[in-house]
Amino acid sequence: MNAGNGAKGAEPAAMPTLQVVFLLDITGSMATQIEGVKSMVSEFCYRQQEALNIHIWTYTETPYRCYVSKSPLMQEPSELVRYVNAINVCCPPDYPSETKANGGDGPENVVAAVVSLLDSFNSTENILCFIITDAPPHHKAFEPSLEAVAEKRWLREHDHTEQDVFVLLNQVIDELNVTFVPILYNNKFKSHWYQQAAVLTQGLILCPKQATSEVLAIGLKSLLESFQIISTTRRVDEVNNLDDLWQGFSVVSINSETFEFVEVDFDQELDCYKDATINRNQRDVKAAILGLLETTCDRFRGKKSTKRCRSVNPEIISSSVRVLTMFMLQLVGSEHFDEAKLNDYVFVLIQALTDSKSDTRESEIRLLQKWINKLPTYKKELEIEIKSIQRELQPVQCVLSLESAFETLNGLEQLPRTEEDVNAWMEIVQQLTMCRLLSVSFPLDATGCEDFMDAWSASIRQIETSCVMTVYAAARLRDPETCVFTDPISGRYHNAAIILAHPEDLILTSIYSGLSALPTLQGLVQSYLVSGGLKIFPSIVPGLQASSLLSQLMEMKETGKCSQSTWEVMRCLVWSLQQSLYTPASKVLRFFKNGNGLNPADQVSKLLAATITYCLQDPGWETTKILQLLFEELTGASIGIVYRKLLLDKSSESEIGQSESKLEEKLGLNQTQISTCFVRTNNIIGFDPTISLHSIETINADLNISDGLKKLACLVSTTEEFKNSVRIFNFFYNLLKCDLKAKEFTLKFPSIPSFSEEAMANIYAESLLLRKRASRYNLGVDKDTWTRVSAEELSTILMQCCIDNIRSRYQSNLVEWNATRKKFARENLMSLLRTIAGSIDVCNQALSVLYFEVVGHKYTLGRMDVIDALAQITTNESLNTLGVALCIGSWTPQPPANLRRHCIEICQRFEHDSELAEMVKTNILKTSICTRPPETPNRQGHHRLNTFPGICGWTENYHSTRLASVRPKHRKKVNKKLKKMKVYSEFVNMFREDVVPTLGKNRTLLVDWIFSYNESLEKQSTVVELAGRIVEKVKLDDGNSWDAVVNNWISKMSRVSKRRGRKPLCRLNKFLNTVI
pLDDT greater than 50 at residue 208 = yes
Average the pLDDT over 577-582 and give the result. 90
In terms of average pLDDT, the best of 245-259, 444-458, 590-604, 815-829 is: 815-829
**What is d(CA 327, CA 311) in angstroms, rounded to the nearest whole number?**
26
Which residue in 105, 106, 2, 108 sits closest to 60, CA to CA?
108
Q: How many CB atoms are located within 10 Å of the residue 955 CB? A: 11
Give the distance, in angstroms, between the CA of residue 873 and the centroid of all CA atoms in the same chain: 60
Give the distance, in angstroms, between the CA of residue 872 and the centroid of all CA atoms in the same chain: 58
pLDDT greater than 60 at residue 308 = no
Q: Could you give the count of Cα atoms lying within 13 Å of 173 in the half-sphere of its Cβ?
A: 28
Q: Please indicate, yes or no, whether the overall pTM of this predicted structure exceeds 0.95.
A: no
pLDDT at residue 2, as a whole number: 45
**What is d(CA 12, CA 299) in angstroms, rounded to the nearest whole number?**
13
pLDDT at residue 272, as a whole number: 52
Q: How many CB atoms are located within 10 Å of the residue 807 CB? A: 15
In terms of average pLDDT, the best of 275-284, 478-487, 1020-1029 is: 478-487
Considering only the C-alpha atoms of the chain, give the largest distance between any 2 of them, rounded to a whole number of Å: 116
Q: How far is CA 195 from CA 173, 254, 311, 757, in A?
A: 13, 8, 17, 65
- 55-108, pLDDT tens digit by residue? 999 999 988 889 999 988 766 777 888 888 888 989 999 888 888 888 876 789
- 837-890, pLDDT tens digit by residue? 999 999 999 999 999 999 989 999 998 899 999 988 989 899 999 999 999 998
The proportion of the chain whose per-residue pLDDT surpasses 70, expressed as a percent, equals 83
Q: How many CB atoms are located within 10 Å of the residue 313 CB? A: 22
- 1034-1074, pLDDT tens digit by residue? 655 555 556 666 666 666 665 554 444 446 666 666 666 66
pLDDT greater than 80 at residue 1026 = no
pLDDT greater than 70 at residue 483 = yes
pLDDT at residue 850, as a whole number: 94
Q: CA quadruple 305, 308, 310, 316: dihedral positive or negative?
A: positive
Average the pLDDT over 386-410 and give the result. 54
**What is d(CA 158, CA 173) in angstroms, rounded to the nearest whole number?**
18
**What is d(CA 468, CA 542) in angstroms, rounded to the nearest whole number?**
18
Q: How far is CA 778 from CA 643, 783, 785, in A?
A: 22, 10, 8
Three-state secondary structure call for residue 675: helix
- Reported residue count of the chain is 1076
Average the pLDDT over 365-381 and give the result. 86
Average the pLDDT over 623-638 and give the result. 86
Strand bridging mode 177-184 / 126-133: parallel
Instruction: Kindly report the three-state secondary structure assignment for every residue of 150-191.
Output: HHHHHHHHCCCCCCCHHHHHHHHHHHCEEEEEEEECCCHHHC
pLDDT at residue 439, as a whole number: 93
b vs e for 907-946, b when ≥16 Cβ sit within 10 Å of the residue's Cβ? bebbeeeeebbeebbebbeeeeeeeeeeeebeebbbbeeb
Average the pLDDT over 210-214 and give the result. 78
Higher model confidence: residue 899 or residue 417?
A: 899
**What is d(CA 130, CA 206) in angstroms, rounded to the nearest whole number?**
10
- Across 66-80, 387-401, 928-942, 1053-1067, least confident range: 387-401
pLDDT at residue 274, as a whole number: 56
**What is d(CA 856, CA 697) in angstroms, rounded to the nearest whole number?**
13
Q: Could you give the count of Cα atoms lying within 13 Å of 814 in the half-sphere of its Cβ?
A: 14
**φ, ψ of residue 499 in degrees (nearest 5):** -75, 135
Strand bridging mode 434-441 / 459-463: antiparallel
Higher model confidence: residue 263 or residue 446?
A: 263
Which residue in 446, 469, 467, 445 sits closest to 457, CA to CA?
445
Q: Calculate the average pLDDT of the chain.
A: 81
**What is d(CA 554, CA 565) in angstroms, rounded to the nearest whole number?**
15
**φ, ψ of residue 582 in degrees (nearest 5):** -80, 115
Higher model confidence: residue 859 or residue 244?
A: 859
pLDDT at residue 952, as a whole number: 81
Beta carbons of 771 and 640 less than 8 angstroms apart: yes
Instruction: Give, in degrees to the nearest 5, the angle at Cα 6 between 5 and 8.
Output: 120
Radius of gyration of the chain (CA): 37
Which residue in 193, 184, 199, 56 sits closest to 120, CA to CA?
56
Please spell the DSSP secondary structure of 955-980, one letter per residue: -HHHHHHHHHHS-HHHHHHHHHHHHH
Three-state secondary structure call for residue 940: coil
Q: Which residues contact 882 (CB under 8 A, 6 or more apart)?
A: 833, 836, 837, 843, 873
**What is d(CA 144, CA 880) in angstroms, rounded to the nearest whole number?**
57
